[in-house]
Structure 1
Amino acid sequence: MGVEQRKIIHIDMDCFFAAVEMRDNPELRDKPIAVGGPASGRGVISTCNYAAREFGVRSAMPSSEALRRCPDLILVPGRMSVYKAVSQQIRQIFQRYTDLIEPLSLDEAYLDVTDSRHCRGSATLMAQQIRAEIEAETGLTASAGIAPNKFLAKIASDENKPNGQCVVLPKQCAEFAAALPLRKIPGVGPRTAERLAQRGLHTGADVLKQDPAELAQWLGKFGPVLYQRAQGIDPRQVQTHRERKSVGVETTVAQDLGSEAACLDKLLSLLPELSRRLGERPFKGINVKLKFSDFQQTTVSGQGQSLDPQALRGLLHTGYQRGEGRGVRLVGVSVTLAPEQPQLALGLE
């Protein structure tokens, strides 16, 4: 069966963490709330309910900024163990319909229901039933997108939020994708969108007017991918097992770090936790991440198979210089995992 004939459902829980908090504390239901760290501790919003979003509060926003936008915002500390337990409950509902499940996070997943016999094989009816079962069994609502591929299903799930669903039929794929603003296409971040807009490209239809070779010249490997997405094509399969590619640890500091030496101290303090998370897994690269006081961030990567402080110092120096004197609010370090083959597990000679 061709990729274009598959039946993919993307389920996305509605403001998941905040919804769990409202379910467990009904007094919060009609108030603007957000799950995140305290503003005094440089906290960041994980998610917020729709009442808070009306004030412009968004995920990944500093808690202090969220409170400026919404002075009545109620900040709730996260309860990750509870969210994981609810996520597992939802996963068990998915498994009633298919074994082909690709979780993206605790609150969203792709389901390939191409060969499922539930609901007379109708993916639309399956999505409705899955959402109804989630609400009945957890008290939470979910939205769904149904399409012949992952890319369109994910975008469709956002069309009728909250507590709704959207279907893109095979014959509608090209038209649906052509009308999409490019910023909605995964992989098109703010900078790429700006570069494309400078060339007069704003929608999928605009991309299709371009020479694919020129797109590849402008955007590298992403050029051909963007050209495919603009046609509504996505050959990726639902992956039931994802190989982990990296392990890392990072921390946001209470006050901006004003020197390279202070950043290095903080970086080195993260190594014991990174070693604990890494265990015996071999790796092939080291990455140092810095986020500056204006929230711009940079990552510097190098090769290496051991957590050599000297190598880390060099990567940090390169990253810190990119800050041009700005304070540093977040320091992180990660490793790029190597395939687990015995010859790659050896240290450098």
Structure 2
Amino acid sequence: MNNATTSDVARLAEVSTATVSRTLNTPNLVRPEVRERVEAAIEKLGFIPNDSARALRQNKTRLIGVVVPTLSYALYAEFYQKLQEALARHGFFALLATSEYDLHVEAEQAIRLIRQGAQGLVLVGKVREKRLSDFLAASRVPTVNTYVVDPTDNTNNVGFDNVKAIESAVDHLIALGHRRIAMLSGITTRRNDRALARRRGYEATMQRNGLETEGWVEEAPYTIAGGRSALRSMLDRALEPTALVCGSDMLAIGALQECKTRSINVPKDLSIMGFDDLEIAAHLDPPLSTVEVPSKEMGITAAECIVGLCLGTELPSRTVFETGLVIRSTTAPPRAPSR
């Protein structure tokens, strides 16, 4: 844990220690330009206020900050539930925040959780806003990244290979005989590293098999409405895919709804692959073929990892989970061309 003091912050920000205290306790009474200097110094030094810092050094808070993109998506709710249960078994408790897939909000929430006494952090993905990365490096707060695996570093990762997972879905469609395979992807421009990895995995697999990808990808939020809108846009451009691979089950459900509206038979006219294997996937009409993601197991393992790091009983580690195909009724060989 970092041992930066109020005096260190004051010296770097070129203010008095009293001004640092006011910035922490009554920021509305501090001039904006002064407050910005103090806050910048706090983040650069990874400074944690005295009461929280003392408790953290003595491992007394037993609070773990958890920031997930959203709780409106069942996958993250399952992950959090299992993580929380596993933490409780060790006498630790979770402080939860959501980022809505916004890295700036994630940074705000994570730093606030630490200042409120969180002893460690569990985050989703590995791409961070720079100020959060700098703060975590300076404060040396134990952190576990989930839903990703990065073999190039020694940070704590609990996740799966998103590229490999989507490749298995595309390979399945190719094995069925599909050649015109489109993708409904999550929004990659928001620096969502999971969505970007899945899109790259799709493109790499298609190109490896000599298949076209240019113009065959639509990006949308991970919602049913997003899936409907993305497929509608694709079909309105007169694209005629025989198969669709989706970056999430919610996108796939939206695509199924759009197909029903347009009287497109799934899977005879269009095969659809989801991603996540949400509980609802098996109960759709037709039941959704998808990629199973071990969200519950990741939650449990992330809890075990962060507790070990906070107690000093575990070294930085990487846990890689396997995903699997769940083939139901939305994928089939493409319809034979009419003679």
TM normalised by structure 2 equals 0.26
* More helix by percentage: 2
Greater share of strand: 1
Which gives a bigger RCO, structure 1 or 2 (Cα 8 Å, sep 6+)? 2
Provide the TM-score with structure 1 as the length reference. Answer: 0.25
